Structure 1
Amino acid sequence: MEKAIIISRCSTNDSKQDVTRQSEELISNYGNTYQIIKEFSYYQSGTKNDEVNAEILEFAIGNDVKHIIALETSRISRKISSFALFLEKCNEYRINVIIDNFKLHTLLEGGEINGMVQTMLSIASTFASAELRLIKSRLDSGRDKYIRSGGKLGRKVGSTKDVKKLLVQHSDIVKFVKQKQSVRNIMTLTGKSSGTVQKVKKLLNNVA
């Protein structure tokens, strides 16, 4: 069986169950066809994950991976340019990218580039980027309306600023920070966002 890896990504504000569901669905669909040697499951914005994508490509190239599988184009990136560069690199090393929701393969069985599919994926990537802009526009509109109606943003009145309480709340992050794990590893191990990990790490440094 040819080697494959799975990409499962959700933004930090998505349900943590979603990333698990993605992995389980992809393994169910492709586990009997390919040897899935690694899962890249993480929580990060699809507009800020270029570093993770570089790590994925490095792993795929270094381990002779033939297939990279994701549920949809936006799981790889919501930036058109980033998705295009990712696809270009995969083409260069003859790595087939499988987009499950459309059942599309970027390479033909002989390893040739599937031009029609790659054009379709470029269009899909454009829609993914446009969808994100629409979501942001709606959120901004809702926030502005809330403020005009007298609502207040930021920390709620009465919320604790007690550093010790926060460190206890995120004791799992504290443990891995003390082990000198990288931020990315801590995100993977705890399922928490980069912002939360960085905040706890900064508080620990201040306490020290």
Structure 2
Amino acid sequence: MKIKYNRVSTLQQTGLRFYADKESYDKILLDKVSGSMPFKERPQAKELIKLIEKGLVEDLIVEEFSRLGRNTGDVINTIEWLDENGVNVIVRNLGLQSRPNGNKNPVWKIISTVMSSLYEMELENIKERTLAGRMMYVQNGGQLGRPKGSKENNAEFLKKKSSITALNCLKKGLTVREIAKIADISTATVIKIKKLSS
């Protein structure tokens, strides 16, 4: 099978940019999770893993290394696992393959390590810029959080879509950070949901 794996960081992102790819695939998978979430813990990646373990996947196509993750160690472990299972990983933006024509690519390991390190560094830069932007917003009189005067009782709060998503993830035993990323809410909100539901 030839499978395309896409990932976007938040639930609000649609992944429409991937439709520019007109190639034909046996299956297209899209995860809406942070790149810092380990590959093997992602919902659609789990489906992919099952297919790989059955020996059904020959080619795995991603747009760029950051779609596999933004944690160098996790990306390297994932790539090694894919290689052990005979999967040819194709990174479209680099025109690079791990096993072209079934033969190991001698530069694959070097390039994949460097690129995954760069994407991890990019994630840290994004976090720093976001934090600096929030600090500037507050310094200039802006307020973070819910608007003053808004009221919502606990029952209404737990009926919100993000709260329901978080509750479902709590039942699955995911960590607070993982749930925050999946539900696109703060860790404090996840803790609040956890307390209110117990």
Report the TM-score when normalising by structure 1. Answer: 0.71
Judge conservation of contact 1:4–1:68 (CA < 8 Å) in 2.
yes
Q: 1:120 to 1:144 in 2, by over 3 A?
A: same
After TM superposition, give the deviation of residue 148 of structure 1 in Å.
2.6
1:91 — aligned with what? 83
Q: Secondary structure at the match of 1:86?
A: helix
Once superposed, which parts of structure 1, at least 4 consecutive aligned residues long, lie more than 4 Å away? 163-169, 181-184, 198-206
Residue 93 of structure 1 deviates from its aligned partner by 1.3
Who is 1:188 aligned against? none
Whole-angstrom distance in 2 between the partners of 1:117 and 1:49: 21
Query: What's 2:177 paired with?
Result: none
Report Cα offsets for 1:44-98 as digits up to 9, x if no partner. 1100133128623343222420111111111110111111001101111110011
* Map 1:151-170 → 2, pairs under 5 A: 151-166=142-157, 170=161
User: Which of 17, 20, 23 is the aligned partner of 1:21?
Assistant: 17
Deviation, structure 1 residue 160: 3.6
* SS of residue matched to 1:119: helix
Residues 1:39 and 1:54: Cα distance change in structure 2 (over 3 Å): closer
| Matched residue, 2:137 | 146
Counterparts of 2:154 and 2:108 in 1: how far apart (Å)? 52
1:193 has 2:182 as partner: yes
Gaps of 5+ in 2: 175-180
SS in 1 for 2:107: helix
**Separation of aligned partners in 1, 2:136 and 2:158:** 35
Question: 113-122 or 85-94: which moved more?
Answer: 113-122
Question: How much identity, in percent, do the aligned residues show?
Answer: 27
CA distance in 2, matches of 1:203, 1:4: 44
- Residue 155 of structure 1: how far off its partner (Å): 1.8
In 2, are the aligned partners of 1:11 and 1:44 still within 8 Å (CA)?
yes
2:119 to 128, 136, 149: 128
Matched, 1:46 2:35: yes
Structure 1 residue matching 2:34: 3-state secondary structure: coil
**Whole-angstrom distance in 2 between the partners of 1:182 and 1:88:** 28
1:115 to 78, 103, 106: 106
**How many equivalent pairs are there?**
182
